């Protein structure tokens, strides 16, 4: 498969391009970015001769089967629609779009043009989430009654210019919220029906939400709770899945989980601590953590390439719309101070 990259910033440079270069039978045939120095540097590194400042010109190139859109999210909808109209399969960075309306418009065009589509929810491809998803599907904890997720992330200041986040319209919900909401929807496997959000700007001068808690109810009667914050100095992405037959605690960044079917004993906590300590030392002395990150992009792209099952496509589109709808509803709920039907 032949890929074109639209937007060659930090995420494309650190993840997409290295991941593509490791996948067999995949060629990077074209690059597009507004920065000609970036294009020059990357075209030399990846031996790509076809470069464009204007991405629309790139989309005219029939040599390209698929595109990866890695631009700021306010550009995603326009670019997804253009790419779909040109018959290109699409991988787009998260968040898919900033509003539900944009997502619906994109999905209409994607379905009309019959192209493959996925959003970069690469955490789905982390070993611990893959394993726990399998356990849940096997019914190891019975029927899920509720999931709580915590995504407390340091403020994204260094590296990528994330200034699009720091305004009244976006904020912390759009930083790690897409990953967390996607994971919640993925595990729950039922459409969300109502969202209630609390929190806001705890600094009173930042101009955007920096700590938000969201309650989501689902069609199957279950609920999910998402806790997003930039404030407490902790870097953590964890989930607790409670079911009629047990409980799973997931620590995504540490690639670790614990499964309980009865009240955990002190021995369970001791064993848990030992496993975490082992995981910390492995991360310290190897490049396991960064390898896991790149691997997740590789697996996502491979899955995208291999995915020709239309039923799976439709489900994927529904889940992506569900994620964007939850984000959109959370924003509205915060603004209006009430629950929002999704």
154 binds another protein (CB under 8 A): yes
142 binds another protein (CB under 8 A): no
User: Rounded to whole angstroms, how far apart are CA atoms 141 and 229?
Assistant: 28
- What is the token pair recorded at 65? 């089967």
Shortest separation between residue 240's beta carbon and another protein, angstroms:
25
Q: What is the signed CA dihedral for 232, 329, 109, 71, rounded to 10 degrees?
A: -20
Q: Considering the complex, state which of residue 133 and residue 162 has its C-beta at the smaller distance from another protein.
A: 162
Tally of CB atoms within 10 A around 287? 10
- What is the token pair recorded at 252? 């995504």
158 binds another protein (CB under 8 A): yes
Shortest separation between residue 166's beta carbon and another protein, angstroms:
7
Q: What is the DSSP string of 237-268?
A: EEEEEEETTEEEEEETTTTEEEEESS---HHH
Span of 96-104, 149-157, 171-179, 300-308 interacting with another protein by CB under 8 A: 149-157
Cis ω before 95 (30° cut-off from 0): yes
Span of 80-88, 120-128, 213-221, 225-233 interacting with another protein by CB under 8 A: 225-233
Q: Considering the complex, state which of residue 52 and residue 166 has its C-beta at the smaller distance from another protein.
A: 166
37 binds another protein (CB under 8 A): no
Residue of 126, 230, 253, 297 interacting with another protein (CB under 8 A): 230
CB 226 within 8 A of CB 216: yes
Shortest separation between residue 206's beta carbon and another protein, angstroms:
4
155 binds another protein (CB under 8 A): yes
The dihedral through the CA atoms of 214, 218, 223, 226 has a sign that is: negative
Determine which helix (DSSP H) or strand (DSSP E) holds 32, and give its type and residue range.
Answer: strand 27-32
Span of 141-149, 175-183, 228-236, 311-319 interacting with another protein by CB under 8 A: 228-236
Tally of CB atoms within 10 A around 65? 18
Shortest separation between residue 250's beta carbon and another protein, angstroms:
23
Span of 17-25, 196-204, 250-258, 305-313 interacting with another protein by CB under 8 A: 196-204
276 binds another protein (CB under 8 A): no
Residue of 26, 67, 141, 206 interacting with another protein (CB under 8 A): 206
C-alpha distances out from residue 164 to 34, 235, 329, Å: 17, 21, 19
Residue of 47, 49, 138, 205 interacting with another protein (CB under 8 A): 205
Determine which helix (DSSP H) or strand (DSSP E) holds 58, and give its type and residue range.
Answer: helix 55-59
Shortest separation between residue 140's beta carbon and another protein, angstroms:
33
Site residues, another protein (CB under 8 A) = 154-155, 157-158, 166, 202-207, 230-231, 233, 280, 284-285
């Amino acid at each position: 498969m032949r890929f074109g990259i639209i937007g060659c910033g930090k995420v494309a440079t650190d993840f997409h391009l290295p991941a593509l270069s490791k996948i067999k039978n995949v060629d990077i045939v074209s690059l597009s970015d507004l920065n000609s120095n970036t294009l020059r540097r990357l075209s030399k590194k990846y031996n790509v001769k076809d470069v464009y400042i204007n991405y629309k010109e790139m989309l005219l190139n029939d040599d390209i089967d698929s595109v990866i859109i890695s631009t700021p999210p306010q550009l995603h909808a326009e670019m997804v629609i253009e790419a779909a109209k040109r018959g290109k399969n699409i991988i787009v960075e998260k968040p898919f779009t900033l509003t539900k309306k944009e997502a619906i418009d994109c999905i209409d065009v994607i379905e009309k043009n019959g192209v493959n589509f996925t959003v970069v929810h690469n955490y789905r491809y982390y070993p611990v989430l893959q394993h726990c998803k399998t356990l849940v599907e096997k019914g190891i904890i019975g029927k899920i009654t509720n999931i709580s997720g915590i995504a407390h992330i340091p403020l994204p200041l260094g590296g990528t210019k994330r200034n699009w986040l720091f305004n009244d319209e976006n904020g912390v919900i759009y930083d790690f919220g897409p990953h967390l909401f996607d994971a919640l929807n993925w595990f729950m496997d039922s459409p969300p029906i109502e969202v209630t959000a609390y929190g806001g700007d705890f600094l009173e001068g930042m101009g955007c939400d920096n700590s938000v808690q969201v309650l989501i109810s689902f069609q199957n009667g279950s609920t999910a709770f998402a806790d997003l914050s930039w404030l407490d100095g902790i870097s953590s992405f964890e989930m607790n899945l409670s079911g009629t037959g047990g409980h799973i605690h997931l620590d995504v960044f540490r690639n670790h989980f614990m499964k309980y079917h009865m009240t955990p004993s002190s021995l369970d906590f001791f064993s848990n601590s030992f496993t975490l300590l082992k995981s910390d030392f492995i991360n310290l002395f190897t490049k396991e953590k960064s390898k896991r990150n790149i691997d997740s992009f590789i697996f996502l792209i491979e899955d995208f390439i291999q995915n020709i099952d239309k039923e799976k496509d439709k489900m994927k589109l529904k889940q992506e719309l569900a994620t964007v709808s939850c984000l959109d509803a959370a924003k509205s709920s915060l603004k209006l101070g009430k629950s929002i039907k999704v």
